[in-house]
Amino acid sequence: MAFGTLQDVETRGKTVLVRVDLNSPMDPSSEMILDDKRFREHIPTIQALDDAKVVVLTHQSRPGKKDFTTLKSHAELLERLIRRPVIYVDDIFGKGARDAVQSIRNGEVLMLENLRFNAEENLTMKPEEAKKTHLVRRLAEMGDLFVNDAFGTAHRSQPTIVGLPTAMKTVAGLLMEREIKMLSKVFSGAPHPITFILGGTKVDDSIAVAEHVLQNGIADRILAIGVVGNIFLAAVGVDIGTPSRQLIESLGYCGEIQKAERILASYADRVVIPSSVAVRMDGERREYPIDRIPQDAPILDLGSSSIHDMVSLIQSQGTIVFNGPAGVFEDPDFAIGTYELIRAASTVEFSVVGGGHTAAVIEKMGLESAYSHLSTGGGACIEFLTGKKLPAVAALESSWQLFGKGSPD
């Protein structure tokens, strides 16, 4: 890799700033954290720094949202999970924070306040601009080394993500390293045939991924499901019914139909679309072939024949990259497609999941261990799969050029 990792640096006795992504679902009334998955993913990196003075940098939500709050609950949960005291300071870089950082000893963990309480962290900026912010300058003064483990925010050009690596020696944490290694394998080294299952409602991201992996010969097939599947059905002239058309319009995705048409013009034999769908009529699940979809019923899942065909295809693949559900999986009547495709994908040799809803369903099904990799960053993962260099990765590489490669710690 073109950037440094924890194996490349001495951390004993150092004050190490560790950027993690503990942004989690919360109950705003009680400030209780409802899902500790992101915490658990970062534990190995924090444990690997048990000979250092660890200063945890993270955020929760963003200004204007109900769960934009302090990190007191986060510090308490992290403390329980790592079974070591976590000192919480309700300050980011003021005197309270500086004094607290100076007073911690080797093996101790301190968590500073929600980084997004500082307005600068909510800005998008280039690394050199970010380096000049008060936030980056003050934080850099507090530490000897910066470890970026926040893959969930790797697609953001925010000061701590791109500015701190410009201001001080920076390496990737264990989670960041694993994410990049596993996602990179999709592009080089994954067993063929490779199929990308693209679903859910983030159609523009999925279309961008489809375009990239087909044009560059990365994917042997694209399997379009969910709203992404409806876009491709519309692109081949299928009348998907008024409710499904209106949903595409309300999401602002009408232009994606033309992009899907262009993809199909070049790669029709490599794009698999549903042959049947399930709709809600009179409060019940009903199934129809795609040439007889009712005008007034919303498409909420794949039909049984589609599920059967797609499961058979998935089971014959060497690699599956799964991003997005097949329908309204929260409703048991319309969860069948999502569940069956997830079960099938768990049997292939190499399987990657792009975080978000799909990963949540996999965990609910107890199939995490059957998958090669469940990404912790939905947005970061999908951007990586479009072939773009993530700002965090570019910053890690630049920092290693500036401060690493044999220079003293």
Please check whether residue 380 lies inside any domain of the structure.
no
In 56-202, which ranges are continuous DSSP H helix? 72-82, 95-103, 127-131, 134-142, 164-167, 174-187
Number of separate domains in the chain: 2
Dump pLDDT digits (tens) for 188-216.
999 999 999 999 888 999 999 999 999 99
Residue 243 CA to residue 298 CA, distance in Å, equals 5
Please check whether residue 106 lies inside any domain of the structure.
yes
Please check whether residue 159 lies inside any domain of the structure.
yes
pLDDT reported for residue 28: 83
- Shared domain for 336 and 222, answered yes or no, is yes
Please check whether residue 329 lies inside any domain of the structure.
yes
Dump pLDDT digits (tens) for 326-360.
999 999 999 999 999 999 999 999 999 997 788 88
Q: Over the chain (409 residues), what is each successive 10-residue block's mean pLDDT? A: 93 98 91 92 97 98 95 98 97 98 97 98 97 98 98 97 98 98 96 97 94 97 98 98 97 97 98 98 96 97 98 98 95 97 98 88 93 92 94 98 71
pLDDT reported for residue 1: 67
pLDDT reported for residue 408: 47
- Shared domain for 170 and 26, answered yes or no, is yes
The DSSP bridge partners found for residue 172 are 5, 148
Please check whether residue 121 lies inside any domain of the structure.
yes
- Shared domain for 103 and 27, answered yes or no, is yes
Please check whether residue 289 lies inside any domain of the structure.
yes
Contact between 49 and 64 under an 8 Å Cβ cutoff? The reply is no
Which CATH number fits the domain that encloses residue 397? 3.40.50.1260
Say which amino acid occupies 369: S
pTM of the predicted model as reported, rounded to 2 decimal places: 0.93
Look at the alpha carbons of 246, 322, 292, 296 in this order and tell me if their dihedral is positive or negative: negative
Give the domain range for residue 399.
Answer: 6-176+389-403
Q: How far is CA 218 from the centre of its chain?
A: 20
Residue 333 CA to residue 328 CA, distance in Å, equals 9
Own/partner long-range contacts of 266-269 (Cβ < 8 Å, ≥24 apart): 266/214, 267/214, 267/222
Cα–Cα distances in Å, from 196 out to 14, 133, 160, 318, 389?
43, 40, 32, 11, 20
Contact between 19 and 147 under an 8 Å Cβ cutoff? The reply is yes
pLDDT reported for residue 405: 64
- Shared domain for 51 and 146, answered yes or no, is yes
Please check whether residue 376 lies inside any domain of the structure.
no
